[in-house]
């Protein structure tokens, strides 16, 4: 059993991590750089992941019709309404942000990175099958210039579910992608989704158990949102599958946190959906109630991140 005392929560929150690393408030500014996805162009498949929104999960990023610097300023000012004094990490969120020639990546990333003196890093969301050698070499260069975070979508280790959601790559491809990034000493954050169709709690816990065997630095735990204008949304309306209740979600997250090493940063414990587009679960619209319920359950059980983690 591993014990660690956290100052803010019973898990290593992103807010605490940023304060430890940068000694001040830091927030992410979400951008849409108009990249596409290999799962849409035919390289990995067509149609994209069945749960993914038309904006490539960039619904809360900047508006695609605006240039990147206008997006940055707009989102930054909105975030400053909550946090008056902070530095920024530019977050390339929508679609697959390494699925382009290096020349295009360099133009977009460095245009933003060099725009404002208080931009102290980049967070780049991508897929493990879009890490070619020239891209990796460029990311290694970026990592020497700034604070770089690479976010990779895994969602689940289970191949049956991966095929059902049309992920377009297998688990080994993900493992290889993480190893490539870590060989370049690039900080790696992994996305998983709880509540994927027909997965049990045992399946979701197995995903975390396998994931923490790898050299990762952060995890984003998402709740599945079934939304309009997606293949999954259309299928759900015709043939509904079981949706996690709030209590089941909270219970699953608490048990997952217990399995995660204490030094791995928890970047997210649930997600957001556009209210007008959400089909299910509607309880997820009250995000702070979900987060508060997780905090409460950790306290009631007197448990914490890493309690059940054992180094192999």
Q: What pLDDT is attached to residue 57?
A: 66
- Decide which of 53 and 284 is more confident: 284
Which pLDDT value is given to residue 214? Answer: 97
Q: Over the stretch 157-187, which tens digit does the pLDDT of each residue have?
A: 999 999 989 898 999 999 999 999 999 999 9
- When pLDDT is cut at 50, 70 and 90, the band that residue 261 belongs to is very high
pLDDT band, residue 38 (cuts 50/70/90) = confident
CATH superfamily of 14-300: Aldolase class I (3.20.20.70)
Res. 78: pLDDT tops 60: yes
Q: Binning pLDDT at 50, 70 and 90, where does residue 22 land?
A: very high
Looking at every residue in the chain, the average pLDDT score rounds to 91
40: region left, alpha or beta (phi > 0 left; psi from -120 to 50 alpha): alpha
Mean pLDDT calculated for residue range 266-293: 92
Write down the pLDDT at residue 82.
73
Tens digits of per-residue pLDDT, 90-134?
Answer: 999 988 999 999 999 999 999 999 998 899 999 999 999 999 999
**Residue ranges of the alpha helices (H) in 122-259?**
133-145, 159-164, 171-183, 201-211, 231-238, 246-259
Task: Check: CB of residue 297 under 8 Å from CB of residue 249.
Answer: no
Beta partners for 192? 155, 221
Instruction: Check residue 2 and give its pLDDT.
Output: 46
Q: Is the pLDDT of residue 189 over 80?
A: yes
CA torsion sign, 166 to 60 to 132 to 264?
A: negative
pLDDT at 199 over 60: yes
Mapped onto helix, strand or coil, the DSSP state of residue 270 is coil
The share of the chain scoring above pLDDT 90, in percent, equals 72
1 pLDDT more than 50: no
Tell me, what's the pLDDT at 278?
A: 93
| pLDDT at position 5 | 64
The pLDDT value given to residue 56:
57
Q: What is the mean pLDDT of residues 25-46?
A: 86
Distance of CA 304 to the CA centre of its chain: 21
| C-alpha distances in Å from residue 87, one per residue of 27, 117, 122, 142, 150 | 7, 9, 12, 19, 19
CA R_g for the chain? 19
Six token digits for residue 69: 């610097």
């Amino acid at each position: 059993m591993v014990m660690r005392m956290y100052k803010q929560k019973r898990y290593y929150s992103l807010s605490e991590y940023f304060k430890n690393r940068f000694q001040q408030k830091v927030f992410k500014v979400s951008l849409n750089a108009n990249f596409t996805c290999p799962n849409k162009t035919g390289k990995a498949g067509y149609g994209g992941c069945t749960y993914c929104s038309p904006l490539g999960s960039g619904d809360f990023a900047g508006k695609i019709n605006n240039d990147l610097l206008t997006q940055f300023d707009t989102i930054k000012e909105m975030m400053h309404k909550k946090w008056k004094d902070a530095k920024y990490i530019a977050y390339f969120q929508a679609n697959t942000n390494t699925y382009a020639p290096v020349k295009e990546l360099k133009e977009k990333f460095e245009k933003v990175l060099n725009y404002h003196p208080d931009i102290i890093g980049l967070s780049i969301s991508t897929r493990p099958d879009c890490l070619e050698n020239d891209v990796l070499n460029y990311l290694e260069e970026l990592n020497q210039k700034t604070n770089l975070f690479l976010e990779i979508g895994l969602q689940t280790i289970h191949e049956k579910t991966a095929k059902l959601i049309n992920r377009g790559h297998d688990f080994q491809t993900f493992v290889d992608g993480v190893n490539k990034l870590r060989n370049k000493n690039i900080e790696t954050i992994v996305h998983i989704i709880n509540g994927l169709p027909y997965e049990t709690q045992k399946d979701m816990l197995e995903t975390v158990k396998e994931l923490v065997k790898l050299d990762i630095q952060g995890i984003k735990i998402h709740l599945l949102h079934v939304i309009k204008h997606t293949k999954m949304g259309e299928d759900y309306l015709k043939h509904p599958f079981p949706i996690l209740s709030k209590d089941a979600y909270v219970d699953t997250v608490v048990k997952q946190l217990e399995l995660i090493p204490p030094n791995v940063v928890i970047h997210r414990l649930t997600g957001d959906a556009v209210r007008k587009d959400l089909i299910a679960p509607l309880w997820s619209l009250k995000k702070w109630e979900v987060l508060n319920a997780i905090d409460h359950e950790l306290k009631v059980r007197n448990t914490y991140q890493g309690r059940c983690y054992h180094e192999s």
